[in-house]
Structure 1
Amino acid sequence: MSAPVPEYNPLRELSPQDLRAHAAEALTRARARSVALTDAVDDEDLVRQHSKLMSPLVWDLAHIGSQEELWLVRDVGGREALRPDIDDIYDAFQHARADRPELPLLSPAEARRYVREVRDKAFDVLEKVPLEGRRITDSAFAFGMITQHEQQHDETMLATHQLRTGDPVLSAPEPPRAPAGGYPAEVLVPGGPFVMGTTAEPWALDNERPAHEVVVDAFFLDTTPVTCGAYVEFLESGGYAEERWWSPAGWRYRTEHGITAPRFWKRAQDGWWRTRFGVHERVPAAEPVVHVSFHEAEAYAAWAGKRLPTEAEWEKAARFDPASGRSRRYPWGDEDPTAEHANLGQRHLRPAEAGAYPAGASPLGVRQLIGDVWEWTSTDFHGYPGFAAFPYREYSEVFFGPEYKVLRGGSFGTDAAAVRGTFRNWDYPIRRQIFSGFRCARDPLPGEVA
């Protein structure tokens, strides 16, 4: 048997100077997005809590700076603390989101000044610190970690924008239409082993590690995420009124909260409408459904005679190349995402039509596995065999267990720095304010697969 093909490390060939430039560009792109999201509203909006599910936008902004100070300025740089007095205020584990408006938060002006001061010091550290010799600085990991942290909070702030009321304040061009021409409704993913997770990806977080072999039985997977049009069929057939499609926990959640449709949807005489970043519009039939909980996704799948994929199934469909037997970084290959591959980075403010981005398809022909909508899987969040928390337990390990379900693939609001074929997101199965959708899987029928 031939040796497995080693994982590709995209930063291995960069000189120290180019690696610093790469890290600086990633940090700068994240900050530009943070500024755009907070400058889009006035100070009154920044300090307001638009939903008990979310923090005030000004908390997210200062929290971004606080984490950057803790890790890049103090830990990596060994510099004197700027604001040790606010460490507790911006510790996400110390204060629930619902309680954060009552804290003595930095004002918008103070928060903006603070994050600028922290960034100046972080860039100075980046120029001077050796990018080797410590695990946290190898391949500029700490700078990548902080980039991903900021981009994750940018997506959280984008979700807060979706929850705010008032006139639209964000704008973006429309995503590309799906190209003409058909494609199969589902794709057969062959059974057998593949390498799940990563050991070589330089900025991969602890829950993505280590690479390990997993055997997956053959299964069929939807070629695209479930569309709004398909979901309307579930609604119109009485799917929310029939307990048989729902798990006991899902039915209890649906009935206790009076949920009758995806979040932000309303039924009118002429059909279904939704609110999207302050715009009231007809639900677009061709787009992937978004703002559905795990329970809703699971119920739809049962109604359709299918199921949600496991996390391992999802990753095999996204990464496995049958021709070489190796696992790619992304469905299309090892190169970083471009605008041709996926709907990422808040480039657009909505999912693209199902079937868009053919250049981003996997070798098996599965489309839109990266970007557009986070996809619920049926898997509880847990560590891989050989998991080791790094650089702190509170990033992943404290969330392991049956309370959280894994989501994969990123959304239109996820930056490329914060998603890849191995990236794992997780949330409570009741969550709907996030940009979550799903696709269905099914087991082969008897005799259907040779």
Structure 2
Amino acid sequence: MSHDLRLSIAAELERTRARTEALTDAVDEADLVRQHSPLMSPLVWDLAHIGNQEELWLVRDVGGRDPVRQDIDELYDAFKHARSDRPALPLLDPAQARAYVAQVRDKALDVLDRVRLTGRPLLDDGFAFGMILQHEQQHAETMLATHQLRTGAPVLHAPPPPAAAVPVTGEVFVPGGRFTMGTSTEAWALDNERPAHDVHVPGFFIDAAPVTNGRYLEFVDAGGYDDPRWWSARGWAYRQKAGLVAPLHWISQASGWSRDVFGRIEELDPEQPVVHVCWFEAEAFAAWAGKRLPTEAEWEKAARFDPATGRSRRFPWGDEAPGPDHANLGQRHLSPAPAGAYPRGASPLGVHQLIGDVWEWTSSGFEAYPGFGAFPYREYSEVFLGGDYRVLRGGSFGTDAAACRGTFRNWDHPIRRQIFSGFRLARDAG
């Protein structure tokens, strides 16, 4: 068991690093050190930060080894320097950063070969290694978002997502009652996903698919961005301040709306889920449509609850890990797939594409579950609890399967839309 686990972890670390290298090798050194948006770090900062976290946890903590580059710890501490300030720091240059992460990886793999994967919460089931590879995959998605913000010729390539296989429209009724939210058994689940606890959710309706570009365009064409009736006071103030007129990366042309997709200008696909909208935009659309955003508990019940057994699944389709027929994950494609593209990934109740495609905004703030305990450090989630954040669920086309499951929680400020965010709607049953 221990041998198989080590081999599995090593393979996941290698697969994850291959993605990081593909994202950083796709551009030249000037692009690596350039800040493409004040919302994002230079790609070279993300690269060295990935290595620094791996060194801190796997080499120094788990392995008890001497530091590789203790002198750079502060430079790559995400809490010490705002993203907008990072280009001015004395960062490692691209060659130094690549050499550093390679050196750290060699030492981390040596630790993996030698350490016991049991006897300590940080090591049980290889948790520390799972935490670090999830961290790297999360930064890979962040780097993918940076690629979307860069200007210049396209450098990323992937086949288009699959076409719709079944028609998916309307809404699904989710019966009221208790269900198990969160997890106490998922080996690599992070602290904010824990512990499992029962939650009573009244019956509600939820959209069978995320809101599509075509449906969102109706809101735009109806003057939704110019009508304060649909916006909260904070949302309207932000819409005016930021000059929002459509989702980020939408382009108005004489022939209609198109979209910038990683440097390629493409005709807007009406069947794909809308992406790059902030929480305030999602909230306004919901008001216009006469519905609302689902709560986090409603979203998870729709995604995990199996009415036939009364248990919560790992994923909408069951407990097996996501495959290419279940969900649009892992940067296999560079955009969301049309509604109905993944019928094998639907929930027992018939809710589609809850995993992958777009992160889905919920109405809930980011709060701790009953019995929450920070692990293994407060800065992963505890310091964000209760702040001005809204929870997003389900992952996107840029989220790797290793960092996505039915219990996984993401959070961000309600103004953020550079992330791969969309939404679906819900309404009360009564």
| Same-fold status (TM-score > 0.5) | yes
- Tell me if 1:325 matches 2:310: yes
Counterpart Cα distance in 2 of 1:258 and 1:107: 36
Equivalence for 2:113: 127
Q: Deviations over 1:123-176 (max 9, x none)?
A: 000011000001000000000000000000000000000000000000001111
- Tell me if 1:18 matches 2:4: yes
Opposite residue 397 of structure 2, the aligned amino acid is F
Counterpart Cα distance in 2 of 1:136 and 1:112: 27
Question: Displacement of 1:184 after TM fit?
Answer: 4.5
Question: Displacement of 1:434 after TM fit?
Answer: 0.2
TM-score, length-normalised on structure 1?
A: 0.95
- The equivalent position to 1:101 in structure 2, one of 62, 87, 93, is 87
Equivalence for 2:40: 54
- Tell me if 1:153 matches 2:145: no
- The equivalent position to 1:279 in structure 2, one of 264, 269, 277, is 264
Q: How does 1:265-344 map to 2 (within 5 A)?
A: 265-344=250-329
Equivalence for 1:357: 342
Tell me the number of residue pairs that the alignment of Structure 1 and Structure 2 aligns.
Answer: 430
Question: Displacement of 1:114 after TM fit?
Answer: 0.3
- Tell me if 1:45 matches 2:37: no
- The equivalent position to 1:165 in structure 2, one of 110, 134, 151, is 151
Q: How does 1:182-221 map to 2 (within 5 A)?
A: 182-221=167-206
Question: Displacement of 1:25 after TM fit?
Answer: 1.2
Question: Displacement of 1:425 after TM fit?
Answer: 0.2
TM-score, length-normalised on structure 2?
A: 0.99
Report the 3-state secondary structure (helix = DSSP H, G, I; strand = E; otherwise coil) of the residue aligned with 1:403: coil
Equivalence for 2:227: 242
Question: Displacement of 1:402 after TM fit?
Answer: 4.0
- Tell me if 1:389 matches 2:398: no
Q: Deviations over 1:251-306 (max 9, x none)?
A: 01001111110001121121111111000111110100000000000100110000
Q: Deviations over 1:415-442 (max 9, x none)?
A: 0000000000000000010000000001
Opposite residue 121 of structure 1, the aligned amino acid is K
Question: Displacement of 1:406 after TM fit?
Answer: 0.2
Opposite residue 386 of structure 1, the aligned amino acid is G
Counterpart Cα distance in 1 of 2:398 and 2:276: 13
* Alpha-carbon RMSD: 0.7
State whether residues 168 and 339 of structure 2, in contact with CA within 8 Å, keep that contact through their aligned partners in structure 1. Answer: no
Report the 3-state secondary structure (helix = DSSP H, G, I; strand = E; otherwise coil) of the residue aligned with 1:351: coil
Equivalence for 1:34: 20
Counterpart Cα distance in 1 of 2:180 and 2:266: 43
Question: Displacement of 1:185 after TM fit?
Answer: 1.0
Counterpart Cα distance in 1 of 2:371 and 2:60: 29
Equivalence for 1:3: none
State whether residues 359 and 394 of structure 2, in contact with CA within 8 Å, keep that contact through their aligned partners in structure 1. Answer: yes
Report the 3-state secondary structure (helix = DSSP H, G, I; strand = E; otherwise coil) of the residue aligned with 2:112: helix
Report the 3-state secondary structure (helix = DSSP H, G, I; strand = E; otherwise coil) of the residue aligned with 1:431: coil
Question: Displacement of 1:16 after TM fit?
Answer: 0.3
Counterpart Cα distance in 2 of 1:233 and 1:101: 40
Counterpart Cα distance in 1 of 2:215 and 2:357: 17
Q: Deviations over 1:215-236 (max 9, x none)?
A: 0000000000000000000000
Structure 1 runs of 4+ off > 6 angstroms?
none
- The equivalent position to 2:357 in structure 1, one of 330, 351, 372, is 372
Q: Deviations over 1:310-333 (max 9, x none)?
A: 000000000000000000000000
Report the 3-state secondary structure (helix = DSSP H, G, I; strand = E; otherwise coil) of the residue aligned with 1:41: coil
Counterpart Cα distance in 2 of 1:421 and 1:371: 11
Report the 3-state secondary structure (helix = DSSP H, G, I; strand = E; otherwise coil) of the residue aligned with 1:235: helix
Counterpart Cα distance in 2 of 1:184 and 1:412: 21
Question: Displacement of 1:212 after TM fit?
Answer: 0.1
Report the 3-state secondary structure (helix = DSSP H, G, I; strand = E; otherwise coil) of the residue aligned with 2:391: strand
Equivalence for 2:126: 140
Report the 3-state secondary structure (helix = DSSP H, G, I; strand = E; otherwise coil) of the residue aligned with 2:311: coil
Question: Displacement of 1:183 after TM fit?
Answer: 3.9
Counterpart Cα distance in 2 of 1:72 and 1:325: 39
Q: How does 1:241-260 map to 2 (within 5 A)?
A: 241-260=226-245
Equivalence for 1:5: none
Which structure 2 segments of 5+ residues have no match? none
Counterpart Cα distance in 1 of 2:16 and 2:46: 13
Opposite residue 283 of structure 2, the aligned amino acid is E
Opposite residue 159 of structure 1, the aligned amino acid is A
Quick one: structure 1 residues 245 and 25, their matched pair in 2 at CA, closer, same or farther if it must change by over 3 Å? same
